[in-house]
Structure formats: structure tokens, C-alpha cells
Amino acid sequence: MKDYRDCSTREQQQLAACRRLVTEKSYLSQEAIRRDLQRHGFETISQSTVSRLLKLLGIIKIRNAKGQRIYALNPQLRPAPDAARCLSDMVLNVEHNREFILIHTAAGYGRAVARILDYHALPEILGVVAGSSIVWVAPRDVQRTAQVRNRVNHLLKMHIYAK
């Protein structure tokens, strides 16, 4: 099987987008994933490319609470938390809307990233809540959410742009 690290830049972007979509939303079909990838800038992506991306990412079908078979990351393929891991490797994506900021992390790193934010006690952050792979950040002033996101990115040394 091809190692996803050997892929082209375009394919790396497709892999990252596909991974993010599958972790954020429940998909019943590859066609639904393909349509969302098209909406995210991959207009000419084919079903066979989606199938290959899913295989490279180790995405499998599991049953959700409703008994539907959905695509999901294989929990056995998730990397084990590693205390020596670089912070930029822990953070997958930072996004915001008008009211809050979400930091998507590799599985198991949400609390570590939240702890870093708590340690720095940025005055423009009202609070931070962490799960295993996501950190929710509430800005003190929702009129400045985008600026707080930029400050968080700078603190985490990320160069990721919001959706």
C-alpha cells in the first residue's frame, strides 16, 4: 500500500480535506464525500479518487447510533499520544465563526493544546474547553473572534487559514 506521505502536494491537500470532512460529518456514501470535496475546491475530483483517498487514510465503515453504516477513521490506525510530538503536528486545523474558535487536533491531543492556551492566559480568551481531539475557545469579545484566532494561531505557530 502506498504511504500517504509520498503523495503530491495536491493529493496531500485532498487527503487533509477528506480526513477533516470525515471526522466532522457523517457520510453514508463516497458520492456524498465527493460532493463535499467539490464544494471545498476540488471541483474535478472523481469517485475513484475519493475511494483511493479513503483507502490511504485507512477510513472504514462503522455503524453509528442509528445503525447506519458511515465512514470513519479507523480507531486502530490513530497514532498513540506522544509527549515528544511537535505542537504543530498536534494541531490539524483552526477555524472560527463569529462567536468561537475550534481547534481540531490529532486524537488525544486536545487537552494538551488547551493546557498550552490556559498556561499563556491570553486576556482576550474568556475560556477554553477541551475534548480528546477538539478544543473550543470562547473569545472575551465576539467582535474580535478573528483577531483572537490569529493570536491563537501565532501562539501555536500555525499558518492555517480559516475556512
Average predicted confidence (pLDDT) for the chain: 83
Residue 66 C-alpha cell reads as: 442509528
pLDDT, one tens digit per residue, over 104-160 is 888 888 888 898 898 888 999 999 999 988 999 999 999 999 999 999 888 887 644
Choosing from 77, 106, 136, the residue where a domain stops is 77
- Identify the helix (H) or strand (E) that includes residue 10: helix 9-24
Is 162 a member of any domain? Answer: no
Q: Where are the alpha helices (DSSP H) in 25-103?
A: 30-39, 47-57, 87-90
Whether 8 and 73 map to the same domain: the answer is yes
Is 82 a member of any domain? Answer: no
Choosing from 77, 100, 131, the residue where a domain stops is 77
Choosing from 32, 55, 77, the residue where a domain stops is 77
Whether 8 and 60 map to the same domain: the answer is yes
Whether 68 and 95 map to the same domain: the answer is no
pTM for this entry: 0.50
Whether 64 and 95 map to the same domain: the answer is no
Domain that holds residue 45: 4-77
Whether 57 and 17 map to the same domain: the answer is yes
In contact, 114 and 80? CB cutoff 8 Å: no
Domain CATH code at residue 94: 3.30.1360.40
